[in-house]
Structure 1
């Protein structure tokens, strides 16, 4: 493998990892909404065990791509991923992964 193809593979791996992290975070948000629902105070005792796995998944995915602690870059990534995954945005071309 040449240095150039190794670099391209690393970039592709980073982009894929970033998308994985963004999707894990979006799944965590969906789980939080589902668990806490309309009356979060009533759901708090049960929330911990139900959210443990999605929280662990999001944390691992963020750490794997170096986004843990970099909220600004991570939230930009989340916004892009949310739009890319939105079925109402059909026909939209995906922008570059920055």
Structure 2
């Protein structure tokens, strides 16, 4: 998040809140009517629009995406591949073998 102006971070946060609200509102169309989803999204849409305008990101999707990536936690490291020695030490009683 270094080097990103606070207005841009606020805009990215507002867009993420909109995304999460949209996912929740639209995830089960049987539970939430279209009218109710539109009502639920009106506030977050207005907030995101205003935050984007203040940050100068309205219409600049590339810069917005960069700011959203700035908010993401660093990727987790992938565990090292298992070695043959570690695999050999694993108990085999639960692998479906009856012997």
Task: Structure 1: give runs of 5+ residues left out of the alignment.
Answer: 1-11, 90-98
Instruction: Call closer, same or farther: CA 1:43–1:62 in 2, change over 3 Å.
Output: same
**Residues of 2 paired with 1:43 and 1:34: CA distance?**
12
**Residues of 2 paired with 1:35 and 1:64: CA distance?**
26
Q: TM-score, length-normalised on structure 1?
A: 0.64
Aligned to 1:18: 8
Task: Structure 2: give runs of 5+ residues left out of the alignment.
Answer: 77-99
**Which stretches of structure 1, 4 residues or longer, exceed 6 Å deviation after superposition?**
none
Q: Aligned with 1:83: secondary structure?
A: coil
1:11-60 deviations in Å (ceiling 9; x for gaps): x9x711111001000000000011011448x6423211110001100000
Choose 43-52 or 70-79, whichever is displaced more: 43-52
Q: Say how many residue pairs are matched.
A: 74
Query: Is residue 21 of structure 2 the alignment partner of residue 31 of structure 1?
Result: yes
The root-mean-square deviation of aligned C-alpha atoms, in Å, is: 2.5
Larger radius of gyration: 2
Q: TM-score, length-normalised on structure 2?
A: 0.63
Aligned counterpart in structure 1 of residue 42 of structure 2, from 31, 52, 68: 52
Query: Is residue 47 of structure 2 the alignment partner of residue 63 of structure 1?
Result: no
Would you tell me which structure has more helix in proportion to its own residues?
A: 1
More relative contact order, 1 or 2 (CA 8 Å, 6+ apart): 2
